[in-house]
Amino acid sequence: MTKEVTIYDIAKRLNYSPATVSRALNDHPAIRNDTKELINATAQQMGYRYNTFASNLRRQKTSTLGIIVPRLNSNFMSRVLAGMEKAANDASYSLIITQSQESSVKEIANAKTLFNSRVDGLMVSVAYNTESSEHFETFIQRGVPVLFFDRVIPHTKCVSVSIDNEWAGYEATRHLIEQGCRRIAHITGTMRRNVYSDRLAGYQRALSEAAIPLDDKLVVESDLSFEAGEQAAQVILAMPDRPDGIFVANDFCAVGCMLALRQAGISIPGDIAVIGFNDDPVARVINPTLTTVHYAGEKMGEIAARTLINSLNGLQDIEATNRIILRSELIVRESSQRR
């Protein structure tokens, strides 16, 4: 491995003191411009790299935020990360992005890596099977702020950024009821995650308000993949009393379900009306187009990063804020319009 070029190597070549070289590289006003130009040109020629990590250690600040997301191949999460990057760039912060791949074991390893990388703050959307926030306690104990977004874990010392998933689930189910649906299925994810348990609660509230009996057989728990949607469709097709409406907790699963139902000869929305969640691009290209719940991923990411940075700069008390709720909107398209 090639030896790293240091300021001492540059000083030796140019016959300057290391202090002069250091000042020139840091644009110190006491160094003449022609000397700065010579030293910087020589440094570039020799392949010198400024040691940001060492400098940050001296200042006890890295200007770096850590991020843990469940998956990087998600359109919604890509929008969230774009918002985070915008806010971070505006404040001259860098990001280290990791993914848990929906594994709590990987999430714990990522948290340890980011802690050892001395990030100034951490933003997390927790994995599918995460049970507790214990692996984030090392950050909290050292005064490193932790912010949860979208999939959140309640914590008195952490702020969370999310939408009102209970209201969104209620609004989606109420729309199906208004379209004449009376036997409504719900395809959801694990009840460990707030986003799915809250959407289920909204679904149940809408049914209760409409005096429609709750039927546990109509609630299908899955991993919400495209394949899970296809499998849920087979479960629905096998029901002796099929539902006339389906509320699915994400769009990809909804599309998988719709395609399998259509292949079996089911008319959408004539026989079964369908609603998804997230407003992914696939919702606009599937036939019929998919009614879904939209919430701005980029805005969520921007607000999350800005909140964390404001906390680091002493402009916002992250413990006092605790919970930030963003708006969502039901986007009505062809898949649910029966009237």
Residue 306 CA: distances (Å) to CA of 11, 46, 85, 147, 322: 41, 39, 10, 11, 14
| The predicted structure's pLDDT at residue 203 | 97
Q: How far apart are CA 275 and CA 258, in angstroms?
A: 10
The token duo for 262 is 């259509």
Q: How far apart are CA 104 and CA 84, in angstroms?
A: 23
| The predicted structure's pLDDT at residue 261 | 96
Provide the 8-state DSSP code for 291. Answer: B
Residue 147 CA: distances (Å) to CA of 28, 140, 141, 193, 303: 38, 10, 14, 16, 11
Q: How far apart are CA 30 and CA 33, in angstroms?
A: 9
Q: Under DSSP, is residue 246 helix (H, G, I), strand (E, B) or coil?
A: strand
Digit-coded pLDDT (tens) for 202-213: 999 999 999 999
| The predicted structure's pLDDT at residue 192 | 87
Read off the pTM: 0.80
| The predicted structure's pLDDT at residue 22 | 87
Q: Domains in the chain, ordered, with CATH?
A: 7-50 (1.10.260.40), 62-163+297-326 (3.40.50.2300), 165-294+330-336 (3.40.50.2300)
The four Cα atoms 22, 24, 27, 29 give a dihedral, to 10 degrees, of 110
For tokens 């030896």, the residue is 3
The token duo for 162 is 């999310």
Q: How far apart are CA 240 and CA 318, in angstroms?
A: 52
Is the CB of residue 100 less than 8 Å from the CB of residue 128?
Answer: no
With residues binned 3-state (H G I as helix, E B as strand, rest as coil), the percentages for the chain, rounded to 5, are: 45, 15, 40
Compute the half-sphere exposure of residue 189: CA atoms within 13 Å on the CB side of its CA. 24
pLDDT along the chain (339 residues), means of 10: 79 90 86 90 83 56 91 91 95 94 94 91 94 91 92 90 96 97 95 93 97 94 93 95 96 96 95 96 95 95 95 75 90 92
Q: How far apart are CA 71 and CA 177, in angstroms?
A: 33
Query: Phi and psi dihedrals of 295, rounded to 5?
Result: -145, 140
Provide the 8-state DSSP code for 159. Answer: E
